[in-house]
Structure 1
Amino acid sequence: MLPPPPTASVLRDAGVHPDELITWQPTELVWRVHRTTGGHVLPWNGMRTHGPILRFDHHPRAVGDHPGYGIWYGASSPRGGLAEAFQSARVIDREYGDPYLTGLRFLRPLGLLDVSGIGGAAWSTRVGGNHALDCAPHRRSQHWARTIFRAHSDLDGVIYRGRFAGSVSVALIERATDAFPARPALSLPLAHPALDGPIATAAHQLGYTIT
């Protein structure tokens, strides 16, 4: 069970050791699956200000629009992006909402707090928590996210393991807005024939179905 976080001042005093910070390089691709039609659609590089809803949303507690608080989620692999986007029904729907798979490279290195021990460190345990940040109820991990970003004003986000694909994922906040490129490296609708093979492979590995 994940305990509540310490205060922001305690986290600030604990600091971040060099091996607890992962620098995401501009040469590395990040993947996102996103709808392009329907309600509440954001562009591929758009920060969501409505929240808190998902795991590391750092918006104030009352769910609603919070200008000045932005969040963006991405995965290190297309499979990771598909796993997270279609986790609720475990069905990869290639048509509804005209979903796209987009891959991008950021314009500058990103400083990401390693909350899952991906780099071998144990920040979460050292400061009084544990690695359940990856899978704890969202309300609790959101509390941690709010405290983390109040304590450390130089972070662009956190890096963690996606709960469904187990792959590396990132959650970026508004401080990383300037790192987004004007155009993605690749962006294709999920219905594109070129994605038939990759989607079928991901669905097989995840145990998802395809429509």
Structure 2
Amino acid sequence: MLLAAPPGRLANPRIVVLGPGDPLLRIDAPAAHDAPAAGFRRYGPLLRFDHHRAAAAAPEHDDERGVLYCARTLVCCVAEVFGDRGVVQRDGHRFARLAPTRELRLLDLRETAATAAGTIPAIGSVGERELTQAWARWWYEQPELGRLDGVIYSSAQCGHDAVALWERADGAVSAVVQLPLDAAELADELVVAAAAVQLAVV
């Protein structure tokens, strides 16, 4: 089934709530957007569930909209950041463990929950970024969904839970651990995570 453009039909959409006991993991390249570990990228749209208002072909800074991508497992972080590159490049990258400071409300796009949100589960893996970004904007703007903090979806790279947080969660997540990705204390865990998705670590 092909991904259609929004609008969709909301039929009892599932909201997943994450709280302070549900850590989120992140790998990023801090120099790319000069952002703190728990910072939201205001430039876009660039990636799958960016909800910035500029055209996909002409991304720009959006003072009112920002996004932060993270995951529930290190395997997912590694796969999402490095899967298309074929190798884990530690230099220039940072690992962070983020802790919600309040409940985060995420629209569930996994498996059959995607249908209740008006779309299809494949939205987490299709390549048409303009379409997935249009969906992100549509959900963000739906009054009947309340003030969503973001979405939770199945990673195209590994199937694990990935999360896109929107700027409504700015200030609601804090970085409790920050380390360069080449830190010695991460080495073993990183190699195991990379091996799970058939990636080498350099």
TM-score by length of 2: 0.89
Mapped partners of 1:154, 1:66: distance in 2? 19
- How far the C-alpha of 1:173 sits from its partner, in A, is 0.7
Correspondence for 2:87 among 69, 72, 91: 91
Residue ranges of structure 1 left out of the alignment (5+ in a row): none
Q: Equivalent residue of 1:185, what SS?
A: strand
Q: Does 1:198 align with 2:189?
A: yes
Correspondence for 1:52 among 45, 50, 55: 45
How many residue pairs are counted as aligned between the two chains?
195
Mapped partners of 2:119, 2:182: distance in 1? 42
What RMSD over aligned residues (CA atoms) do the two structures have, in Å?
A: 1.7
Q: Does 1:76 align with 2:72?
A: yes
Mapped partners of 1:83, 1:123: distance in 2? 23
Correspondence for 2:154 among 157, 161, 166: 161
Q: Which residue of 1 aligns with 2:171?
A: 178
Q: Which residue of 2 aligns with 1:135?
A: 125
Q: Does 1:105 align with 2:106?
A: no
Residue ranges of structure 2 left out of the alignment (5+ in a row): none
Q: 1:127 to 1:83 in 2, by over 3 A?
A: closer
Instruction: Give the aligned residue type for 1:130.
Output: I
Q: Equivalent residue of 1:101, what SS?
A: strand
Give the share of equivalent positions with the same residue, in percent: 31
TM-score by length of 1: 0.86
Q: Which residue of 2 aligns with 1:6?
A: 7
Q: 1:49 to 1:195 in 2, by over 3 A?
A: same
8 Å contact from structure 1 (residues 116, 133) kept in 2: no
Post-superposition Cα deviations, 1:126-168, rounded to whole Å, max 9, x if no partner, equal 4542111111221111111010011134111111111112111
Q: Equivalent residue of 2:70, what SS?
A: strand
8 Å contact from structure 1 (residues 16, 123) kept in 2: no
